[in-house]
Amino acid sequence: MSEFDAYLFQKLEEVEQAGLRRSLRVLESAQGAEVKIDGRSLLNFSSNDYLGLANHPALAKAAGEALATFGTGAGASRLICGTSRLHEDLESAIARFKKTEAALSFSTGYAAAVGAIPAIVSSEDVVILDKLCHASLVDGARLSGATIRVFPHNNLEKLRSHLEWARREHPQGRVLVVVESVYSMDGDLAPLADIVSLKEHHGAWLMVDEAHGVGVLGAKGQGLVDLLGLTDRVEIQMGTLGKALGSAGAYLCGSAILRDYLINRSRSFIYSTAPPPYVAAAAQAAVELLETETGQGLVTRLRDNIHRFAEEAGCESPTAIFPIVIGDEREAMAAAGALLEAGFLVPAIRYPTVSRGSARLRIVVTATHSAEQISFLAKTLRELD
């Protein structure tokens, strides 16, 4: 073993001793309510494919037609030769769906976050984040060079205090507040209307990550911002194309000026090869599907399944995410192992995804789960207690 590999081995051993080592599971099937791992069929309650669109024939058809016409790759960044009509059509569909002037797509949610925040604020400015914001948002804030302040999760008084401090200590700086609409590990909602009022009172801007809100909340699944009628009062909305929309990539949406500005200033957009056109076609098909009666049926079925699991498992969540907080990392791993033995894929979520001592099972209900599958999980959880 080389000195380099010996060093890495030692560090991995430390991770192992802390009960935090991870490994990849290889799926032998398509994504869905049931998956196959190591030749064994498991009921999948871990996926963010909330509406089951990752396997929907409308998306597969759109991707297949685009693949036959446009091939497998975009060729370069979009500012060189990588923009196809499909990228533009996708962004028009997103803007229409989200009721904004414009949208811009990115290869991943991480790229959207680390591309947007450093483009908008810099070392003279302040970024204020909720403590439970996704790592990509935190990293985007760090890369910006702005002064960072973090407020305890959904704590409006501390957010107010940070806003007052920012205006007092950085009177000439810009202030950007960053929150999520739905928090991915807890499934709870941001008090978004109050946050909007606070940022407006203090002359700040707001960026809302709707990664886990789109497809779940809102009249047609447009997310929490739309549900609360706040679209015109949120400067930047971010979302993913790889969760409820069943494809891959992410987007930022807002004003037409925001889109043009990001095209010129977002490093992760400028210096990344464009996503494959067939991926954009699949995402567009998903957005357009949600605007149909078929799409609305999926949203309704998801909400019915959320209610069914909450009732049968004796827990509540405003979204499809149901956390069962265990605390100890090894105990969480043992609980996940017991569920695996019973036929369920529900991995343990541990540090650094969540804070130390708050390891949990993260159960996700989707539109494609049957009533029988949901009842089976609820019964199994009761027996494990």
Active site residues: 48, 134, 180, 184, 209, 212, 243
Residues 6+ apart with CB under 8 A from 307: none
Side chain identity at residue 291, one-letter code: E
List the one residue out of 23, 16, 44 whose CA is nearest residue 330.
16
CA 360 to chain centroid, in Å, comes to 18
Between CA 336 and CA 368 the distance in angstroms is 22
Residue 365 · residue 317 · CB < 8 Å: no
Instruction: Give the span between the Cα atoms of 284 and 95, in whole angstroms.
Output: 11
Alpha carbons 197 and 369: distance in angstroms, whole number = 38
Is the preceding peptide bond at 347 cis, omega within 30 degrees of 0? no
Q: Classify each residue of 34-67 as buried b or exposed e, where b means 16 or more C-beta atoms within 10 Å of its C-beta.
A: bbeeeeeebbbbbbbbbbbbbebebbeebbeebb
Distance CA 332, CA 326 (A): 6
Angle formed at CA 208 by CA 352 and CA 101, multiple of 5 degrees? 145
Q: What b/e sequence results for 282-296 when a residue is b if at least 16 CB atoms lie within 10 Å of its CB, and e otherwise?
A: bbbbbbbbbeeeebe
Strands of the sheet with 250-254, listed across from one edge: 102-106, 250-254, 236-240, 205-209, 175-180, 126-130, 147-151
Cβ atoms of 65 and 284 within 8 Å: the answer is: no
Distance between CA atoms of residues 349 and 329, nearest Å: 8
- In DSSP notation, 43-77 reads EE-----TTSGGG-HHHHHHHHHHHHHH-S---SB
